[in-house]
Structure 1
Amino acid sequence: MPAVPSVQFAYRPDLDLFTARWQSLTLAATTQAEYDALLQAPEALGTPHWLLDVRRRPLITLESARWVTQDWLPRAAAALRPARLRLAFLVAPVRAENLRLDPALRAVMEAAYVPGHPFDLRTFTDEGAAVAWLLGQLA
């Protein structure tokens, strides 16, 4: 697996939960390499429940949002078949506000939330709520 020092991977067997946490502010230019590294992490491939803590990432660009939702997420879902990928993004409040207020970003994210994809996706600012949703305890 390629080394990605800015991202820490962990698996919690008690919750059957894979977590990727960005440990430092990284460049938007490294997004694709960091996300592709997740697809090679044995911790990730053992469970369909993923929590991506991107609170330390910069605000997302429209280009990055499209790449993650339209390219990377379908590949991640395919890697886990026949299980269904359930992915929660844990974001900083400023990032959540950016996703809500920017019409183009909001449209990309809303398109990724609708049923019919080979994955389930939600964005949270509270880790407890994100974990509850991943475990099916929150609609």
Structure 2
Amino acid sequence: MNSPFSIQLAYRPDLDLFTARWLTFHTLSTERAEYEAVLQAPEALGTPHWLLDVRRRPTTDPEAARWVTTDWLPRAAALVRPAYLRLAFLVAPVRAENLREDDELRAIMEAAYADTDTLALRTFTDEGAAVAWLLGRLD
């Protein structure tokens, strides 16, 4: 599906996997609208396995990370209920390093990594590992 943003949305029935890929670098000002577009994607509704490829967006800030983890993620999980949402973020190595080294971002992400009764979230720099985790082949 095409969107008015720089996101490619796809559903792979062979893997029961929804993927959203950001295709270009963009400013944080468009981030919320793009995440909202993901929630509107019909491809997202049929599966609890979501891969968000944000490698072309190498950094984030605490405000954006907090909004995604505390506002957007619960709404994403509600879309697939009663299924359990497994969401993998595919990030660039520089972003993974930033998430580990920035104290505020690390705290936000550690809270988000705590599995709940509605969702599990992980970040990966390798797409194969992300897909394996989403399909329950990797803890």
Considering the TM-score relative to the shorter chain, is it more than 0.5? yes
Q: Which residue of 2 aligns with 1:41?
A: 41
Counterpart residue type for residue 134 of structure 1: L
Q: How does 1:92-107 map to 2 (within 5 A)?
A: 92-107=92-107
Deviation at 1:5, TM superposition (A): 3.0
* Structure 1 contact 28–58 (Cα < 8 Å) conserved: no
Q: Deviations over 1:2-47 (max 9, x none)?
A: 9333000011000000000000001111111000011110101111
Deviation at 1:77, TM superposition (A): 0.3
Q: Deviations over 1:37-83 (max 9, x none)?
A: 11110101111100000001141110000000000000000111101
Deviation at 1:116, TM superposition (A): 2.6
Q: Assess, with a 3 A threshold, how the Cα gap between structure 1 residues 68 and 80 changes in structure 2: closer, same or farther.
A: same
Distance in 2 of aligned mates of 1:95 and 1:38: 21
TM-score using structure 2 length = 0.96
Counterpart residue type for residue 133 of structure 2: W
SS in structure 2 at match of 1:10: strand
Q: Which residue of 2 aligns with 1:18?
A: 18
Q: Assess, with a 3 A threshold, how the Cα gap between structure 1 residues 58 and 4 changes in structure 2: closer, same or farther.
A: farther
Counterpart residue type for residue 5 of structure 1: F
Deviation at 1:118, TM superposition (A): 1.9
Q: Which one is further off, 63-72 or 114-123?
A: 114-123
Q: Which residue of 2 aligns with 1:85?
A: 85
* Structure 2 contact 115–121 (Cα < 8 Å) conserved: no
* Structure 1 contact 49–86 (Cα < 8 Å) conserved: yes
The question of 1:64 aligning with 2:50 is answered no
Structure 2, gaps ≥5 residues long = none
SS in structure 2 at match of 1:15: coil
Counterpart residue type for residue 105 of structure 1: L
> After TM superposition, where is structure 1 displaced by more than 4 Å over at least 4 residues in a row?
none
Distance in 2 of aligned mates of 1:58 and 1:26: 10
Structure 1, gaps ≥5 residues long = none
Distance in 2 of aligned mates of 1:115 and 1:57: 25
Counterpart residue type for residue 112 of structure 2: A
